Copies of this chain bind each other. A is one copy, B any other.
Amino acid sequence: MTNDPIINDRAQLLLKTLIERYIQDGQPVGSRILSRESGMNLSPATVRNVMADLEDMGLVKAPHTSAGRVPTVRGYRLFVDNLLTVRPLRGSLIERFRDELYRIDDPEALIDRASNLLSSMTRMAGLVMLPRPGAVQLRHIEFLPLSDNRVLVILVVNDQQVQNRIIHTERSYTSSELQQAANYLNSEFAGHDLEGIRSQVLKHMEEIRDDMHQIMQLAVQMADEVIQTSQSADYVVHGETNLMSYAEMGDMDRMRQLFEALKTKQDILHILDKSIHAEGMQIFIGEESGYAAFGECSVVTSPYKMQDEVVGVLGVIGPTRMAYDQVIPVVDVTAKLLGSLLTSE
């Protein structure tokens, strides 16, 4: 990281007005406009001098000789880090947020709604990473015999989440055998941590007779798979199509890359992952994220908590030229709200 260039207050204010103006209407901003808009009673000529300095520092650039200036990625960076004044959301708006998310008791639906909310409030794409369950507690397990040596395992964890999976076995089991195994696991381990169960079952195995043995192995196998799938992260997107309306995405090819990335999820997850461990809000501007597909795009994220523990990340993705001052509080409030609603359940 290069340290922030040292620029005086006047230059800062001018950069700020320039970026605000550019965010507003997407046109390069010239010295005349800036001298009028900055509220500082400077002549355009003076502004031009300052601009030349800013350009030297790589904070703005001119698309061509006689156009106004446009912020660079570094410019945006300085802007969001030091210059941005975020107005808190109007109370009435917060009410609307609350109304939107209130009284949804299915966590999945809640997350879906939150993503939708982010998207519709910002008119960009909203995304919410699924909460990663901290400790997975076994609540109930059930085995059902299927044809062809297959067993359907149903597993209820953490009070409401139901997982199910088909497992191939070496021999076929009767209903009662499976029932027995399930009973054993339920009575012995209900309420316990799934990872703990695994090791315990392995320990118990030696004491149990052989064909039981095999069912236990199944259980362990099952537990493994469940732990794995609950740890592989995923997210929910809404409003990707909103992004199509932005002029800077005019390029179909770029658009396509972006959509591909959204669908593959790989890159996005990586970005989200970066910010799950960060304390508060994170902003990735343009290629800062490290992925070419996000050229001209910024991602604003915030982790959200469940019982004081960070369990996921949410945010929006939109053009670099987004209204950060409005997007930031929206993301912030949504994260807090989602957290408190998830906790209160």
Residues on A lying within 8 angstroms of B by beta carbon are: 105-106, 139-140, 142, 144, 146-147, 152, 154, 156, 159-160, 162, 164, 166, 240-241, 244-245, 249-250, 252-253, 255-256, 259-260, 263
Contact = CB atoms under 8 A, between A and B. Distances in A.
Contacts of A144: 139-140, 156
Contact of A162 (B140, B154, B255): B154
Nearest to A244: B256
Contacts of A147: 159
Contacts of A146: 159-160
Contacts of A106: 166
A247 to B, nearest CB: 9
Given A166-B106, A244-B256, A259-B240, A152 B142 contact: no
Nearest to A168: B105
Contacts of A166: 105-106, 160
Nearest to A250: B252
A26 to B, nearest CB: 15
A249 B249 CA distance: 15
Number of copies: 2
Contacts of A140: 142, 144
Given A146-B159, A244-B255, 4 more contacts: A147-B159, A152-B162, A154-B156, A250-B252
A59 to B, nearest CB: 31
A260 to B, nearest CB: 5
Contacts of A159: 146-147, 152
Contacts of A245: 252, 256
The 5 tightest CB contacts between A and B, nearest first, are A162-B164, A244-B256, A241-B259, A241-B256, A244-B252
A252 B259 CA distance: 14
A111 to B, nearest CB: 16
Contacts of A152: 156, 159-160, 162
A249 B252 CA distance: 9
A144 B30 CA distance: 67
A259 to B, nearest CB: 5
22 contacts: A105-B166, A139-B144, A140-B144, A142-B154, A144-B156, A146-B159, A152-B156, A152-B159, A152-B160, A152-B162, A154-B154, A154-B156, A160-B166, A240-B263, A241-B259, A241-B260, A241-B263, A244-B253, A244-B255, A244-B256, A245-B252, A249-B252
A301 B213 CA distance: 50
A244 to B, nearest CB: 4
A43 B267 CA distance: 58
A175 to B, nearest CB: 10
A139 to B, nearest CB: 7
A240 B263 CA distance: 10
A245 B257 CA distance: 11
A159 B166 CA distance: 10
Nearest to A152: B160
A159 B240 CA distance: 37
